[in-house]
């Protein structure tokens, strides 16, 4: 029996390009990001009359980041398209970024015709070889009859288990050849297993450890967001009276205004969160990698703690720190199973009081003079009531955004956490704007990061994406300068951004209004104007040039040895 996909019937002979479009529609894809080129022209010929929306970015890297942002904001896989050779290689940074942060992404690249592969043909690059270490899987399709099944398999792998990017490289002649279109109803992937349900014995051990702990700490990461386990996290924290800390990827997985929330842990985490990590006797790590920015010196990390580690990727458990109770499962399923085994409510009043003292003695603080980025973020939070989707680039502004814009919901903080990719923020926000129309979306960027994908102002202007872009402009590569101040004797080698343009005029050249802020009293009126604008708006804030991010744990240091910085006011 035939069934209809899009405007064509299954069982009909279609070109490879038509098959790609039909397969994307079958997977529920409504938007793709990309740039056309010679080897993908047959595909673009079909996309022009398809129901799928195509967003024309101005750089392929931005297409990958936009697809990434779309996925983070929506929970659906993002899709990007590039032509062969330089088009495909321009996707590499975006693919690596998605891989590090476990973001479901399907990248479709054009390739030279099959007979020309391996001959150093014009615009040929071995993109499957190049991306092998930074994809969950990748494919070079050499037979049009394999195309539909390959696309189906790619989406399945990208979105199941620990999500990640998958690349499909399609030679130009495959897109023009014809084959009978049958979309496979099921998959057979020997060797690919996704363990979702936890082992009952390990669940029982975890529940017993939680019941016996005197100073437990719930440590949440990106797996909580991916698995939508935020409600189970709240139930465990509240039911067992357990304080909560997060990695940057876990931001939004637990309400940051909640009395049990302590803060981000790690290099630029709160003092209370870092002290708690050093004193806890039980860490319940959920969907976290225990990366180096969290642990500091691994040998000295959480020296008093037994560790429960819940992660869907078995390779992550024990990779950095020893897990005393390993649970390989989906975060939501693992937490749900533990909740069923817990005997009753917990009470850790003394532990919470100790953490509260640390919070009172070591609050986030900054000197209230000059034009401070922390003040800008505090006022942004007040004006948006904490309900904006925040997209950041990488650097000092990223850390200030984590610290001074608390969130109460998941999928509202989009940032390059694992790879640390400057230039991520603006295109990721473009993807979020497409995925979540009608929601306020604010880009927090720096003058260095902003210029790495500044050409996307054209995309924002053309599609009238209502992004509010706030540039924390200090005339430096800010985090580089901070490290040079602390660890390289203040020799600011090539970190000063000499020759910066007038960003407001640049925005206006792209038909985007903007406003320059030089003094603190101008911050609120500028933010109000930006937020009230129907379309995009840029605010260039000339912050104090040598403001630093505190607290800071020196690289390779221990979490209880922080530089705390500001004096407050």
Q: What are phi and psi of 412, to 5 degrees?
A: -120, 5
Q: Which residues pair with 78 in a beta bridge?
A: 105
Residue 333 annotated as catalytic: no
Residue 233 three-state SS: helix
Task: Provide the 10 A C-beta neighbour count for residue 319.
Answer: 14
Residue 123 annotated as catalytic: yes
Distance of CA 414 to the CA centre of its chain: 5
Q: Write down the catalytic residue from 479, 482, 484, 550.
A: 479
Q: How far apart are CA 448 and CA 197, in angstroms?
A: 44
Q: Write down the catalytic residue from 3, 13, 122, 214.
A: 122
Helix residue ranges, H only, 101-229: 127-131, 147-159, 172-176, 200-212, 222-226
Q: How far apart are CA 80 and CA 108, in angstroms?
A: 6
Asked if residue 19 lies in contact with residue 152, where contact means CB atoms within 8 angstroms, the answer is no
Q: Write down the catalytic residue from 76, 116, 123, 522.
A: 123
Distances (CA, A) of 475 to 449, 498, 541: 11, 7, 11
Q: Write down the catalytic residue from 18, 27, 60, 256.
A: 60
Distance of CA 141 to the CA centre of its chain: 29
| β-strands 413-414, 13-15 pairing | unpaired
Residue 479 annotated as catalytic: yes
Q: Write down the catalytic residue from 27, 61, 100, 172.
A: 172
Instruction: Assign 3-class secondary structure to 321-338.
Output: CCCCEEEECCHHHHHHHH
Q: How far apart are CA 77 and CA 69, in angstroms?
A: 10
Instruction: Indicate which residues carry an active-site annotation.
Output: 60, 122-123, 172, 479
């Amino acid at each position: 029996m035939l069934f209809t996909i899009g405007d064509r019937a299954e069982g009909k002979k279609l070109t490879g390009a038509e098959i790609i479009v039909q397969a994307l529609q079958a997977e529920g894809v409504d938007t793709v990001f990309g740039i056309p080129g010679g080897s993908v022209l047959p595909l673009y010929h079909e996309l022009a009359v398809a129901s799928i929306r195509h967003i024309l970015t101005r750089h392929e890297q931005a297409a990958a980041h936009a697809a990434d942002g779309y996925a983070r904001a929506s929970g659906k896989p993002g899709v990007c398209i590039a032509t062969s050779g330089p088009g495909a290689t321009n996707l590499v940074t975006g693919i690596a970024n998605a891989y590090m942060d476990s973001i479901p992404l399907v990248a479709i690249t054009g390739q030279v015709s099959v007979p020309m592969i391996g001959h150093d043909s014009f615009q040929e690059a071995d993109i499957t070889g190049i991306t092998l270490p930074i994809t969950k899987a990748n494919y070079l399709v050499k037979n049009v009859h394999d195309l539909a099944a390959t696309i189906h398999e790619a989406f399945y792998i990208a979105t199941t288990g620990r999500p990640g990017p998958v690349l499909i490289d399609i030679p130009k002649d495959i897109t023009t050849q014809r084959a009978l279109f049958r979309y496979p109803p099921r998959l057979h992937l020997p060797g690919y297993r996704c363990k979702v349900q936890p082992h009952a014995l390990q669940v029982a051990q975890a529940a017993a450890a939680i019941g016996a702990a005197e100073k437990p700490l719930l440590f949440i990461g990106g797996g909580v967001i991916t698995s939508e386990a935020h409600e189970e996290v709240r139930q465990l924290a509240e039911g067992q009276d357990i304080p909560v800390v997060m990695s940057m990827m876990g931001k939004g997985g637990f309400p940051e205004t909640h009395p049990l929330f302590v803060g981000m842990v790690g290099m630029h985490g709160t003092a209370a969160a870092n002290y708690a990590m050093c004193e806890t006797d039980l860490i319940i790590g959920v969907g976290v990698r225990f990366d180096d920015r969290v642990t500091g010196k691994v040998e000295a990390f959480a020296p008093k703690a037994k560790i429960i580690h819940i992660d869907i990727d078995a390779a992550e458990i024990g990779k950095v720190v020893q897990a005393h109770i390993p649970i390989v499962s989906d975060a939501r399923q693992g937490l749900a199973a533990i909740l069923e085994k817990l005997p009753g409510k917990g009470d850790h009043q003394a532990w919470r009081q100790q953490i509260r003292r640390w919070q009172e003695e070591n609050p986030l603080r900054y000197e209230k003079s000059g034009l401070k980025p922390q003040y800008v973020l505090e006022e942004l939070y007040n004006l948006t009531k904490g309900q904006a989707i925040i997209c950041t680039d990488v650097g000092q502004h990223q850390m200030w955004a984590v610290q001074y814009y608390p969130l109460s919901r998941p999928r509202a903080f989009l940032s390059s956490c694992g790879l640390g990719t400057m230039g991520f923020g603006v295109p990721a926000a473009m993807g979020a704007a497409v995925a979540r129309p009608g929601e306020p979306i604010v880009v927090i960027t720096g003058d260095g990061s902003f210029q790495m994908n500044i050409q996307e102002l054209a995309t924002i202007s053309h599609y009238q994406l209502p992004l509010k872009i706030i540039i924390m402009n200090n005339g430096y590569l800010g985090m580089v300068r901070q490290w040079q101040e602390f660890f390289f004797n203040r020799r600011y080698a090539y970190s000063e951004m000499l020759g910066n343009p007038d960003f407001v005029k640049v925005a206006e050249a792209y038909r985007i209004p903007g406003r320059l802020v030089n003094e603190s009293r101008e911050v609120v009126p500028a933010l109000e104007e930006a937020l009230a604008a129907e379309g995009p708006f840029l605010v260039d804030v000339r912050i104090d040039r040598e403001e630093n991010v505190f607290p800071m744990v020196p690289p390779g240091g221990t979490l209880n040895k922080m530089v705390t910085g500001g004096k407050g006011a």
